[in-house]
Amino acid sequence: MTDPVLQIRSNGQITLPIEVRRQANLKEGDLLEVAVEPDGTLRLTPKIAIDRSQAYFWTNRWQQGEREAEADLKSGRYKDFKSIEETIRDLAVEAAE
């Protein structure tokens, strides 16, 4: 089977053949990022839109913190508290040290 050839329409639109959409698991409304390589090759990459209020979560800094927290949990570097008061007492002791 040969690779599909796409035609650019008058308004700049192209249609991805059904076989390509199925293979890439693309649905109507999905977002694609287009990158133009130095040799003129086009690369399409599926993207997921995220709510602006949640964008901080996907920053490199936040994701590093998530990885560190996960490592702390896996290694047992955490404390369980039965109440807010117990938590505050522990924080006060640590701050005094």
- Residue 1 is predicted with a pLDDT of 63
Q: Structural domain of residue 14, as residue ranges?
A: 1-49
Q: Please state, in angstroms and as integers, the Cα–Cα distance from residue 34 to each residue in 6, 9, 43, 58, 68, following that order.
A: 15, 17, 6, 21, 33
Same domain? 43 vs 12: yes
- Residue 2 is predicted with a pLDDT of 82
- Say if CB 46 and CB 26 are below 8 A apart: yes
Same domain? 31 vs 63: no
- Residue 39 is predicted with a pLDDT of 98
Mean of the per-residue pLDDT values of the chain: 94
Query: Among 26, 6, 25, 3, which residue's Cα sits nearest to residue 14?
Result: 6
Same domain? 26 vs 59: no
The amino acid at 25? N
For the domain that residue 20 is a member of, what is the CATH number?
2.10.260.10
- Residue 80 is predicted with a pLDDT of 95
Spans of the chain below 70 pLDDT: 1
- Residue 19 is predicted with a pLDDT of 94
Model-level pTM?
A: 0.52
